[in-house]
Structure 1
Amino acid sequence: MTTLITTRGGTRRYGARHRWTVLSVGVGAQASFSAMFSGIPVTAVSMRSGYHLSLGSLGLVLSCLGLGVAASDIAWGVLTDRWGDRRVLLLGLTATGALLAVMAVAVTPSEHAGVALLAVCLLAAGALGGSVNGASGRAVMTWFADGERGLAMSVRQTAIPIGGAVGVALLPWLAERYGFRAVYAVPAVFCLLAAAATWRWLHGPGPEAATAAPEPGPSPLRRWDVWRVALASGLLTVPQFAVLSFTAVFLHDVKGAGAALASLTVLIAQLGGGAARIWTGRRTDRRGGRRTWIRAIGALSGVVMAAAAVLTHAPTPVTVAALAAGGLLANSWHGIAYTEIAALAGAARAGTALGLEGTACFASGFLTPLLVPVVLAVASWEAVWGLAAFAALLAVPLVPRQALTGR
């Protein structure tokens, strides 16, 4: 496969190896957004005190990130199928970086920013940054053959916990040491650097690959098998966001622990989940069974989160271990689920399918931070972790059973 790109300096030829460069750019784009998306919620304790938020207001503000992605992901996916991944990534990353830069200047506690302004800005950040989900995924689908897509998509999806781990480790420290001006400025730089890399290195495959892609069939939005994978993924996202968004608050309020322990817990979940994504992606490329693996991970996630509910008032190391394990499993299925839904739709419609997947996942990312304070108001932290377990178990029968010859 060779791609010819005409520039002012002449025509450049990109061979099959360029697919790894494309994957690297996709990883960078996904990681830059994830550092902001995952890191900001872990500043919850500093955000609550700095902006003078109630627990309910905090949940609303944090949920706006997920709402922004959920509201925009299908539209970004459709635009990606029409405009191409390069244009969409350039637009989304540049706009996200610019917005975060504005927030660093004008939407900080020292600028007396209120709940409404903060919520609107985080909603917009999620909506703009969500462009990376479908666009980078479609680039992977068009450059990699089916026998490599599981690994490639899992590597791309691993950028989410890796970038998230950077954000989780860095942003709470920045919030405590330098304030929210730095919390917004650093991810802004990440997004703008990713946009520059996209402009320089991300190019589409050549005519040979384009003609090899399957012809567009019915829209993924009209196929129940595609919807089942997306809805199951949305349910599996509930324990992920419960651990990500409220571990810091839980450990602070119940265990009297500081932000360092919360960051460590989420860090283990993110990095362990990233490693599991790569392993399952590679294994399913060789042996198939992506749907079977999604079902198995859902069952295990449910069992471990149920254990976390039972161990809520156990010694802190035991509780932390259960939450870290539950978070790890809740972060481990994404690569194979995104690969499966894109494969069901076909490369020509992958952007739309991945947009639907992102919408389902980030809708859960919006609803989970809203539900947790409600559950706490009427019940307890045991009920919070129990709800996460129930959602994961409910996802298992939704995933279509594996076809005998399918991956």
Structure 2
Amino acid sequence: MTTATTAPVPHTTVRPRHRWVVLALGVAAQAAFSAMFSGLPVTGVTMRADYGFSTGQLGFVIGCLGLGVAASDIVWGLLTDRFGDRRILLTGLISTGSVLVAMAAVATPADGTGVWRLAGFLFAAGALGGSVNGSSGRAVMTWFSDAERGFAMSVRQTAIPVGGAVGVAVLPPVASAYGFRAAYLTLAAFLLLTAAATARWLRAPGEPAPTPEAAASGPSPLRRWDVWRVALAGALLTVPQFAVLSFAGIFLHDAKGAGAAAAAVAVVTAQLGGGALRIWTGRRSDRGGDRRTYIRVIGVVAAVAMAAVAVLTHAPTPVAVLALAAAGVAANAWHGVAYTEVAVLAGADRAGTALGLAGTTIFAAGFLTPLLLPVLHGATSWPVVWAAAALAALAAVPLTPGARHR
């Protein structure tokens, strides 16, 4: 019997399995972008030597990558809601890959590239690549019901450390052995291959949605304080995350006399443990748990863990490494539930805008944290730096909206 609420036949036959294909495409797109975003900074030593930059110039150039993302994410979110996730995701993947191909052609050390040219290219790569955040998230949001979105979005967010790990493993040896032309072309290949898969398997925007929802009504997510609160809470939780990722190695080297292996243990544990915890919290929130409560709990745990790092600054090196790893795990655990909550608040038709807002606040925090914490360290000490990161995480707790009945 056919009723007014029965989904069209094409959907009922494709939805159960194809939503996982869409999730796989979202993971691949996020991982390809993350390989560039996380991998290029790790080539810093080779980049500084090959391009002849000072340390300050290198920091400015690398910072332009994140600045480009922060400057563009809201715009990409609005465009995603206007033109559809497939079109924007393809535009971002192809254009970012093309920028990297252009860099391989005219922005290598052999081309006499200076600070401003490379900074401009990296800003463009970040600004174009930022489209992946909202468009891939909206695609996942569209295909999965609320009972699965926390898990699906958490898996997509876990692609960030996974893709970053690939970039960290591949780019430094490629840049060192074959030069930056090969490094840029390697990243371009990741993005363009993902674009080809997206063109082949992601449903066109003009086709009926697999999980029909009512058209969005009411104010834009950009004018809703509850959406802003979740996005800003995510930005505050980014501070301890980037504090550990950016300064664990420097702290262990300068304050503890430890080698690179100790920093690698702390950072890798934070990335892998945080990714696993993202998926666990996402799945748990799908089973009836309130996502806002999970965000607040993670904020408290991250604050306590970072405070422990501050207290244990002068502890033996293994204890300090363990404390940093635990703090990094907690600070990496919130992404899936926060991104899901901000998208659900906006609704499927405006999820791109909400995810773009969240991306803007989070990447802005990721850009500012490595700039401001060294200033704080220069004026005070390492315990104060870790305590400041703890306070940022704690501030996310009251900022997160109250529990929402689902």
1:338 aligns to what? 339
Per-residue deviation at 1:259?
Answer: 4.8
User: Which consecutive unaligned segments of at least 5 residues does structure 2 have?
Assistant: 1-6
Q: CA deviation at 1:253?
A: 4.5
Tell me: CA distance 1:2–1:124, structure 2 relative to 1, closer, same or farther (3 Å): farther
Task: Give aligned pairs, total.
Answer: 398
Amino acid in structure 1 at the alignment position of 2:189: V
Matched residue, 1:39? 39
Whole-Å Cα distance in 1 between the matches of residues 184 and 61 of structure 2?
Answer: 15
Aligned to 1:207: 208
Structure 1 range deviating more: 256-265 or 267-276: 256-265
TM-score (norm 1): 0.90
Unaligned runs of 5+ in 1: 6-12
Q: In the alignment, which residue of structure 2 is the partner of 1:132?
A: 132
Greater CA deviation, 56-65 or 158-167?
A: 56-65
Letter of the 1:358 counterpart: G
Further displaced range: 209-218 or 222-231: 209-218
1:368-394 Cα offsets, whole Å, 9 max, x none, are 122133223323333332222221111
Measure, in 2, the Cα distance between the counterparts of 1:214 and 1:296.
33
Counterpart position of 1:224: 225
Equivalent pair of 1:75/1:355 in contact (CA under 8 Å): yes
What CA distance in whole angstroms lies between the structure 1 residues aligned with 2:151 and 2:219? 27
Q: Are 2:266 and 1:265 aligned?
A: yes
Structure-2 residue corresponding to 1:8? none
Matches within 5 A, 1:362-377: 362-377=363-378
Deviation of 1:48 (Å): 4.1
CA distance in 1, matches of 2:10, 2:201: 13
- CA-CA distance at 1:67 after TM superposition: 1.2
Compute the displacement of 1:261 (Å): 4.6
Letter in 2 for 1:328: V
Say whether the 8 Å CA contact 1:2–1:208 is kept in structure 2: no
Report the counterpart of residue 148 of structure 1 in structure 2.
148
| AA of the residue aligned to 1:286 | R
**Partner of 1:399 in structure 2?**
400
Mapped to 1, the partners of 2:10 and 2:257 lie a distance apart of 59
Measured in 1, the distance between the counterparts of 2:296 and 2:267 equals 23
- Opposite residue 151 of structure 2, the aligned amino acid is L
Q: CA deviation at 1:287?
A: 2.2
Structural mapping, 1:3-22, within 5 Å: 14-22=14-22
Give secondary structure in 2 for the equivalent of 1:16: helix
Aligned to 1:120: 120
Counterpart of 1:151, as a letter, is F
Q: Distance in 2 between matches of 1:159 and 1:342?
A: 18
* Distance of aligned partners of 1:207 and 1:142 in 2 relative to their CA distance in 1, 3 Å threshold: same
Q: Is the 8 A contact 2:68 2:124 kept in 1?
A: yes
Q: Secondary structure at the match of 2:189?
A: helix
- The answer on whether the counterparts of 2:107 and 2:113 sit within 8 Å (CA) in structure 1 is yes
The 5-angstrom pairing of residues 5-404 of structure 1 reads: 14-204=14-204, 206-207=207-208, 209=210, 211-255=212-256, 259=260, 261-403=262-404
The 8 Å contact of residues 30 and 160 in structure 2, kept in 1 or not, is answered as yes
User: Between the two proteins, what is the percent identity of the paired residues?
Assistant: 66
Are 2:145 and 2:211, in contact at CA under 8 Å, matched by a contact in 1? no
Q: Counterparts of 2:218 and 2:104 in 1: how far apart (Å)?
A: 45
| Amino acid in structure 1 at the alignment position of 2:283 | R
For residues 106 and 142 of structure 1, the distance between their equivalents in structure 2, rounded to whole angstroms, comes to: 40
Q: Is the contact between residue 71 and residue 127 of structure 1 (CA under 8 Å) also seen in structure 2? A: yes
Aligned match of 1:10: none
1:9: which partner in 2? none
Displacement after TM superposition at 1:238 (Å): 1.2
Per-residue CA shift, 1:86-116, capped at 9, x if unaligned? 1101110111112122323433444443322
Aligned-pair CA distance for 1:174: 3.4
SS of the equivalent of 1:218 reads: coil
Aligned-partner Cα distance in 1 for 2:221–2:379:
39
